[in-house]
Structure 1
């Protein structure tokens, strides 16, 4: 009975050690040390343009991700640079994106 428990325990320990290793990794390979720091560069997704409102007089505003925005405001890390009747220009990190209210592609 004791021998059965020892054998069972040693098999469990061996399986636990084996589970920590990637079975598809080359022999002798080990993951690089990260010192407990995970560097994940997640970029917020581009906001969704839902509407543009341009009054007779004054500046246009846009609805991005359900929030009303005007030029200079920020949404999800992007800055609203320009709003036209059918186009909103966003900027982030020196790059610009143009969101169109209506797609130019017409599917038939």
Structure 2
């Protein structure tokens, strides 16, 4: 089937989402401030230091985003933790949650050619 939807941008979006379904509103915390570890290697200690500093400075941060280095070097997107940098991921998540943070893990839609998952 093909559909042609004409009108103003608002009318087109309204008609399109009536056809396909309307997206859910993200949770309120998703609109808050996100702090990232950036594209540099990090450890459990450095992440917790960043989180505690944010709280200590009174910065109303909602999410800590762990960039690609939560995974093993050059094995990105195979969903395996780098246990040399983050030896106990469950403990790190629990500590961040206790501090009131949500956690976002960096992922992308590919698997490293060096990963066993590549095949």
TM-score (norm 2): 0.25
Between Structure 1 and Structure 2, the one with more strand by share is 1
Structure (1 or 2) with the larger CA radius of gyration: 1
